[in-house]
Amino acid sequence: MSFPITMKAPRTTIAAVGSALVDMCLLEDDAFLASTGAAKGGMSLTDAAVIKSYLDTSSKKAAIVPGGSACNTILGIGKLGADAQFVGKCGNDALGELFETGLKTHNVKPILFRSDTPTGHVLSVITPDAQRTMFSYLGASAETNPDEITSKLFENTALVHLEGYLLFNEKLMMSVLKAVKGAGALVSLDLASFTVVEAAKKLIEDICKEYVDIVIANEDEARVFTGISDEDKALEALAKKAPLAVLKVGKRGSYVAHDGKKYVVKPVGTEKPVDTTGAGDLWAAGFLYGLTHGMSVEKSGMLGSACGYEVCQVVGASIPEAGWERIKKFL
């Protein structure tokens, strides 16, 4: 396999499979986060009542937008101009309608299975250091049936992006991987959270050997997955897991390893981040768009950095139109 990938007809689509969730972004202080007992920067599964209790306790108002890791990435890919689609399950409720409308306004084709269970949602508590800590109620998104995922969904697809949160449902993850490979598409996997890696390390090892073409991790995820703290050595270890490996290091940029080469991707912009929600997801959007549109690894990484920077200037994972205009000037 070689990168960058040049898409040729009829392979014109980039797809994402993940949890159809609505993000509720709440700006709060460290004391509020401490009262929840959660580890800063992590993700914990909970129920809707717990999320409601935190929202009721806070004096702040949450910003509500379509979300979910893979969804954030495909929304960015759609805004960049690719043929894009999202596969997931949501409820027959107002949040489900909000989610579907959000896909369409970002030029993403919805492939949504529906359920009478409420649409899943995530409370992201954003502290003054711009770190976000997530409380996830999966709701209808957890009910996606492995049998609903078939190769036909991806027959015109060049690449399918998967979020690490799917690893909590091994049967579903395996069904998706087999369907994607049955359709002849590439697989990119974002490890999503160090808590996900802790819970599913053996499964990640197994699927990387057989299915994953691109693995994306931040420093914490890479450390837990490889057992290595040194960034250079962790990147080398990641590169043994998949043909192309990405190590994101926050405001310092990112590293990419492919075909025995290491690429250093510098950050863009100098403004202090307002909120890091979606930073990694939007980085992946720019990077995967670049790879699948004939850009070099270096330029794909730079586009990823531009997308990641812009989303950090706002609350939530939705880049405003002015930000997209700046990104398109880069293109």
Tell me the per-residue pLDDT of 66-111, one tens digit each, with 9 for 90 and over: 888 999 999 999 999 999 999 999 999 999 999 999 999 999 999 9
Print the SS3 string covering 232-249: HHHHHHHHCCCCEEEEEC
Distance CA 96, CA 115 (A): 10
Write the CB contacts of 302 (distance below 8 Å, at least 6 apart in sequence). 265, 266, 268, 330
Check whether 262 has a pLDDT greater than 50.
Answer: yes
Percent of residues, the chain, with pLDDT higher than 70: 97
Q: Using 50, 70 and 90 to split pLDDT, how confident is the model at 1?
A: very low
**pLDDT confidence of residue 5:** 54
CA distances from 70 to 30, 52, 103, 190, 279 (A): 28, 24, 12, 8, 12
Residue 46 is encoded by which pair of tokens? 């909970």
More confident residue, 310 or 277: 310
Percent of residues, the chain, with pLDDT higher than 90: 81
Check whether 238 has a pLDDT greater than 80.
Answer: yes
Q: Assess whether the previous peptide bond of 146 is cis (omega < 30° from 0).
A: no
Distance CA 233, CA 81 (A): 36
Helices 231-239 & 219-226, crossing angle to 10 degrees? 70
**pLDDT confidence of residue 12:** 76
Q: Using 50, 70 and 90 to split pLDDT, how confident is the model at 6?
A: very low
Q: Using 50, 70 and 90 to split pLDDT, how confident is the model at 3?
A: low
Check whether 147 has a pLDDT greater than 80.
Answer: yes
Check whether 2 has a pLDDT greater than 50.
Answer: no
CA distances from 84 to 15, 17, 176, 326 (A): 6, 11, 17, 21
At residue 92, what are phi and psi to the nearest 5 degrees?
-90, 65
**pLDDT confidence of residue 41:** 87
Check whether 9 has a pLDDT greater than 50.
Answer: no
Q: Using 50, 70 and 90 to split pLDDT, how confident is the model at 250?
A: confident
The helix or strand, by DSSP H or E, that contains position 263, with its residue range, turns out to be strand 261-265
The helix or strand, by DSSP H or E, that contains position 186, with its residue range, turns out to be strand 186-190
Q: Delineate the domains of the chain, giving CATH numbers in brackets.
A: 13-18+71-108+143-330 (3.40.1190.20)
**pLDDT confidence of residue 273:** 87
Of 221, 222, 161, 217, residue with least CA distance to 188 = 161
**pLDDT confidence of residue 331:** 76
pTM above 0.75, yes or no: yes
* CA angle (41, 105, 306) in 5-degree steps: 50
Calculate mean pLDDT across residues 267-288: 89
Check whether 7 has a pLDDT greater than 70.
Answer: no
Calculate mean pLDDT across residues 189-202: 94
Amino acid (one-letter) located at 323: G
